[in-house]
Structure 1
């Protein structure tokens, strides 16, 4: 299977990257984190949301006859990978999946979230909630300062199970787009670790010269590229089971790469000012957005 990007796909990826780096670069990320504080009281940037809509982010796979861009799932995966790189906040997947069904979702005028399980993200900021009754939902502390959460009535835990998936419970395209975000984060933390290893000096030489650090960075790259192959393959085939496997690999890459990136940074990585913890916390939240890893493994095993 050929995973080389076409010229149009490369242009799409570069265009989305330029847009996000211009509108939600590190300065904007840190400003959003500082505004949210430590309690997850983030406020969605509506102007940015509408700008994403105007750029066609939410309408990438809608037919041109319906006002969309007319591209395919592989193209959407590239866009969501870029969103994962910069930790773009908001219910991106839910709004994307609602485009064409919920008025204003495709253009970014409407923010859509989903409530299919124990927790629902961005409830206060959402214009439309799909998938469940949110009456009586109460705010709950989120590990990620840029992903505010509400707990639905009767929920006793944050993790999903066979009969109670976590909010949004993305399967198929939803799981794949979430995996793409995880892939973007895993790639970014690999780059962060390598850059720091080239700059930080210890005992008279940069720490990237030490074998232990080299091994950590190499392992991060392997995880990210393995996840990339799985995500891109599932985007091409559209197979829900392959999307399930891609989500498992991307979750693992995002969480473990963030941890290893923190290890490479040493004591600096544990500080609030460093961005490493933001990638780790978002990776944890995304990993919980859907069926549990055990459920996904059982589904894949049953299909063999």
Structure 2
């Protein structure tokens, strides 16, 4: 299978990279992180109220969106959220391979915000305004149960900044709720640019994790399993972009930093670290690109598994190459590592992906 990009695909990828360089460069990233560090973008740990829109309320205090709303609108105008919507509906009319390329660039830049959910909502026409970035959409990843559950659902990102929430649970069609319909409490987030809420279910539900039965709420005629698979793949693309970026950071620093009168990249131990990072990145890239073409469930699980390992492993090795400076707040390495850790626990964890792949291997051909 030929995975070489077409001229149009390269132009699409380069256009996204240029947009992010102009609107979300390193200076903008660090400004956003500093704002979040002083409370501008992180949710308070206590409090239960959730508000919709670009400036929600948490415990009576305004919560920043943790991302640039102006940039969000520009991304919408550029077609990121309507990329796979048909042209007859005002979309771009492209496919998953092109979406993966753009999300890879977003991962390289550590672009914050509920990108995956807003893209799914915009491309499938689930939420008005999602396609052009005028509405912010996040998602609740279903737990696989429709009644009483033994524990809470996975954390939901950017809930206080959202205008709508997709409920994605296998075996159901997609449900669309407003943030105020959910019983949620903010929780401390590892990533300063990804505020999290723990959602226990709809407000009227007494059972943790109990979602409305089929036919209640604003239910859309879209199979949630399809959007779940796409969410897994797009998250893998974000992880791939982060893995490639930390590889570039490590190689660049190894060429610049000198010890004993030589660049540290001349030492074999550093070369081995960088070589391992390259192998992880390219292995993950081939599987992510293949899953984008085939849309196969098992290949998507493999893509997420390998992309998570590449993002986390490369960030750790990049920190090692940077040495002591890598542990400082001023270095960007920790931001990639924290985001990679967080994404690894979203949209199909390693345990879930391994179980799916093991089951596939045991099935007769």
Which interval holds the TM-score relative to the shorter structure?
Answer: over 0.9
The residue number in structure 1 matching 2:76 is 53
Residue of 100, 107, 110 corresponding to 2:132: 107
Q: Note if contact 1:173-1:240 (Cα within 8 Å) is conserved in structure 2.
A: no
The residue number in structure 1 matching 2:199 is 152
The residue number in structure 2 matching 1:13 is 13
Q: Distance in 2 between matches of 1:2 and 1:38?
A: 48
The residue number in structure 2 matching 1:267 is 324
Q: 1:37 to 1:109 in 2, by over 3 A?
A: same
Q: Distance in 1 between matches of 2:355 and 2:281?
A: 23
After TM superposition, list the pairs within 5 Å mapping 1:156-171 onto structure 2: 171=228
The residue number in structure 2 matching 1:70 is 93
Q: Give the C-alpha shift of residue 38 in structure 1.
A: 6.5
Q: Distance in 2 between matches of 1:51 and 1:201?
A: 41
Q: Give the C-alpha shift of residue 126 in structure 1.
A: 0.3
After TM superposition, list the pairs within 5 Å mapping 1:211-250 onto structure 2: 211-250=268-307
Unaligned runs of 5+ in 1: 155-162
- The total of aligned residue pairs comes to 293
Q: Give the C-alpha shift of residue 135 in structure 1.
A: 3.0
The residue number in structure 2 matching 1:140 is 187
Q: State the TM-score, normalizing by the size of structure 2.
A: 0.77
The residue number in structure 2 matching 1:206 is 263
Deviations 1:151-209 (CA, angstroms, capped at 9, x unpaired): 1238xxxxxxxx9xxxx997311100000000000000000000000000001111000
Q: Note if contact 2:305-2:349 (Cα within 8 Å) is conserved in structure 1.
A: no
Q: Note if contact 2:247-2:274 (Cα within 8 Å) is conserved in structure 1.
A: yes
Q: State the TM-score, normalizing by the size of structure 1.
A: 0.93
The residue number in structure 1 matching 2:24 is 24
- Give secondary structure in 1 for the equivalent of 2:162: coil
- Identify the structure with bigger relative contact order (alpha carbons < 8 Å, sequence gap 6+): 1
1:174 matches 2:231: yes
Q: Distance in 1 between matches of 2:200 and 2:117?
A: 21
Residue of 165, 174, 191 corresponding to 1:129: 165
Q: Which structure has the larger Rg?
A: 2
Unaligned runs of 5+ in 2: 43-63, 142-152, 168-176, 202-209, 211-223
Q: Mean Cα displacement is larger for which, 98-107 or 182-191?
A: 98-107
Q: Distance in 1 between matches of 2:112 and 2:85?
A: 23
- Give secondary structure in 2 for the equivalent of 1:17: helix
- Give secondary structure in 1 for the equivalent of 2:165: strand
- Give secondary structure in 1 for the equivalent of 2:182: coil
Q: Mean Cα displacement is larger for which, 212-221 or 117-126?
A: 117-126
Q: Give the C-alpha shift of residue 292 in structure 1.
A: 2.4
Q: Distance in 2 between matches of 1:53 and 1:298?
A: 36
Q: Distance in 2 between matches of 1:291 and 1:86?
A: 23
